[in-house]
Structure 1
Amino acid sequence: MAATPHVPREANDMRRLGAVLLDGLLALTAALIAMRATERADLPGMQVFYATAGACFGLSFLNHVVLTRIGGASIGKFAVRTRVVRETDASRPRLPRLFRRWLGGYLFVLVWIIAAFFDMAEGPEDFCGIRLVRFRDLRAAEAGSTPGR
């Protein structure tokens, strides 16, 4: 029978806030660059809007879903030395779960209101079964679960 894996505790709120701010700034920078480029091209207003939104959401998707699947963290999470893991076994989440988490981030207010209405203590992080942990704690947990170390 396999031993239950040790899942590190959640990273503190300051690390989470730092990652959110950096990732948000990155997406907004992409939107600003797209907006400036499309305005200089003298495109109609709706095309400017589509290009701006596409750059913002596209980069956000690549950062939060694709990069997190490949590297275990978004750029902001790398910067604050945290990683994203599954709550059950501390493994790297797969694309469908990461996509739900990314979409849930945009729907955070709606999810929070529903959770409050039904008196649920769980927030959007728990909604997808993903936990943000410190990189150091994750490495320590992995080293402790490996036989012979």
Structure 2
Amino acid sequence: MRRLGAIFLDGLLALTAAYIALRSAGHAGLPALQVFYAVAGAGFGLSFLNHVLLTRIAGASLGKFAVRTRVIRETDATRPRLPRLFRRWLGGYFFLVIWIIAACFDLEDDPEDFCGLRLVSYRDLRAVTGAPLR
């Protein structure tokens, strides 16, 4: 359920940015193609900042912070680097529907991440490391 909560919050954040861009571009009287670029740029841009850059810096996106989970590398439980996070972000758009269906029908307790990353509870990660995480 935490995974769905984080997906919902992160998606809502990106959709809010796209909506604000739509309203702003509409008031500016831009042509339809420029409005499309503004909306797509705002939505995908904020999503990229949230899922890739913020996760690299802080270990979680805003939605993951809200549900108290973190993204770690499967092999050594460290914070993932930018190329892996970028692949995960890009692939997430393709596999998002599959993940939601798997979670709703409880097909798998914790779906494997195709980039070698895992979503873990902050409490569990802190118990393993024994110290506050940065």
Residue of structure 1 in register with 2:120 after alignment: 133
Q: Which moved more, 1:47-56 or 1:101-110?
A: 101-110
- Match 2:50 to one of 51, 63, 67: 63
**Pairing 1:54–2:41 present:** yes
State the secondary structure of the residue aligned to 2:29. coil
Please state how far the C-alpha of 1:88 moved relative to its aligned partner: 0.7
Aligned residues: 122
1:21, 1:76 within 8 Å by CA — same for their partners in 2?
A: yes
Please state how far the C-alpha of 1:126 moved relative to its aligned partner: 2.5
Q: How far apart are the structure 1 equivalents of 2:9 and 2:96?
A: 20
1:111, 1:124 within 8 Å by CA — same for their partners in 2?
A: no
Q: How far apart are the structure 2 equivalents of 1:109 and 1:69?
A: 20
- The two structures have a TM-score, normalised by structure 1, of 0.77
Please state how far the C-alpha of 1:83 moved relative to its aligned partner: 0.2
Please state how far the C-alpha of 1:124 moved relative to its aligned partner: 7.9
State the secondary structure of the residue aligned to 2:130. helix
Aligned sequence identity (%) = 75
- The two structures have a TM-score, normalised by structure 2, of 0.85
Please state how far the C-alpha of 1:101 moved relative to its aligned partner: 0.1
Please state how far the C-alpha of 1:111 moved relative to its aligned partner: 8.2
Counterpart of 1:129 in structure 2: which amino acid?
G
* Residues 124 and 105 of structure 1: CA distance in aligned 2, closer, same or farther (over 3 Å): farther
Residue of structure 2 in register with 1:75 after alignment: 62
1:104, 1:111 within 8 Å by CA — same for their partners in 2?
A: no
Q: How far apart are the structure 2 equivalents of 1:26 and 1:133?
A: 21
Gaps spanning 5+ residues in structure 2: where? Answer: 100-107
Residue of structure 2 in register with 1:118 after alignment: none
Structure with larger Rg: 1
Q: How far apart are the structure 1 equivalents of 2:113 and 2:49?
A: 22
Q: How far apart are the structure 2 equivalents of 1:124 and 1:35?
A: 35
Gaps spanning 5+ residues in structure 1: where? Answer: 1-13, 113-120, 145-149
Q: How far apart are the structure 2 equivalents of 1:53 and 1:92?
A: 28
- Match 2:14 to one of 27, 39, 45: 27
Residue of structure 2 in register with 1:91 after alignment: 78
